[in-house]
Amino acid sequence: MKKILVTGGLGFIGSHTVVELQNEGFDVVIIDNLSNSKIEVLDNIKEITGTKPDLFQIDLRVKKDVVDFFSNNTIDGIIHFAAFKAVGESVQNPLDYYENNIGSLVHILQEMRDRNIDNFIFSSSCTVYGQADELPITENAPIKHALSPYGNTKQIGEEVIIDTCKANNLNAISLRYFNPIGAHDTTKIGELPIGIPQNLIPYITQTAAGIREQLSIFGNDYNTPDGTAIRDYIHVVDLAKAHIAALKRLIQKENKTNFEFFNVGTGKGSSVLEIVKAFEVATNQKLNYKIADRREGDIAAAYADTTLANSELKWKTEKTIEQALQSAWKWQKKQKS
């Protein structure tokens, strides 16, 4: 049985990926410092899969702890989620973001190099494309100047990995996520935003639940059919499964070059207003919302061309946006009780 390290394995995407890894028969070990996750997630994973993964509560910025971990564990592949992810916060505290997101990555790659560990999956983002000139966005779209330190850590992260792959014979895949939403069908794991949600779906579900008074739709004067911004919202379980496909590709040595990157989205764009309407229909809830100013740094439209991921990873999305919104709502209701 292959032993896979999942860093940030108690987080939103990480926990769903751990479940899919276990479902596929992988032995999973998690590193998480609980900075943006809860320890209960470990038991919730066990309730879904029947197996509690090993957890090491390590801060990846602490080099000695990383070295100790790898001295005591034999690892066959790594899926690296552990990172800070709040765009606004990254503008306020850029050095924290560079230290954590880049420093941790470097520490892990150093151990992979020194111990000849192969098979690395990196958690990247469609933010690397900025406002792409052409839609849908293919992997050939140019990388645009990052609009935030957070986005920059994803760009720099990919460059660090490219250079390491070249010099050290490492094989890696970077998955560029579009907008992950939803929760596991069992409602045992989901997104746990701390404080006021910055992302659209948790803000919508918290508004419907009465925790927030009103959703602000950031801008209705974009150059889009209804004026609101367009994104590609992907069910987190579909996204999690893309990681398994990418990992298997590396383990089975099916990769064509030693650093590959794939867009992971649905291929379909939805506007903020369309999401609001779809949420109302899917959950039979009326949503209180208003139109507000554009949010600084937001782009008008982004959705993925998924041709490459579909053909090379032999992966495609299975869930609809309605299912994603329903699962997010079911999860929200559970948080209240």
Active site residues: 150
DSSP per residue over 219-265, as a string?
Answer: -S-SSSTTSS-EE-EEEHHHHHHHHHHHHHHHHTT--SSSEEEEEES
Q: Output 48 or 276, the one with its CB closest to ligand UDP.
A: 276
Question: Cα–Cα distance between 260 and 162 in angstroms, integer?
Answer: 9
Judged by the rule CB under 6 A, the positions of this chain that interact with ligand UDP are 179, 198-200, 203, 215-218, 229, 231, 272, 295, 298
Q: Output 77 or 149, the one with its CB closest to ligand UDP.
A: 149
Question: Cα–Cα distance between 21 and 29 in angstroms, integer?
Answer: 11
- What three-state secondary structure class fits 7? strand
Q: Which two tokens stand for residue 301?
A: 């439209």
Q: Output 188 or 319, the one with its CB closest to ligand UDP.
A: 319
Provide the minimum distance between the beta carbon of 129 and ligand UDP in the complex, in angstroms, as a whole number.
Answer: 12
What residues contact 14, with CB distance under 8 A and at least 6 apart? 6, 7, 8, 30, 32, 37, 79, 81, 82
Provide the minimum distance between the beta carbon of 214 and ligand UDP in the complex, in angstroms, as a whole number.
Answer: 10
Element (H, E) at 336: helix 321-336
Question: Cα–Cα distance between 167 and 209 in angstroms, integer?
Answer: 52
Count CA atoms closer than 13 A to 230's CA, side-chain side: 21
Q: Output 133 or 293, the one with its CB closest to ligand UDP.
A: 293
Q: Output 38 or 295, the one with its CB closest to ligand UDP.
A: 295
Provide the minimum distance between the beta carbon of 275 and ligand UDP in the complex, in angstroms, as a whole number.
Answer: 8
Provide the minimum distance between the beta carbon of 250 and ligand UDP in the complex, in angstroms, as a whole number.
Answer: 27
Look up residue 126 and give its DSSP letter: G
Question: Cα–Cα distance between 196 and 215 in angstroms, integer?
Answer: 12
By beta-carbon distance, which residue lies closest to ligand UDP? 229
Provide the minimum distance between the beta carbon of 188 and ligand UDP in the complex, in angstroms, as a whole number.
Answer: 23
* Beta bridge pairs of residue 125: 177
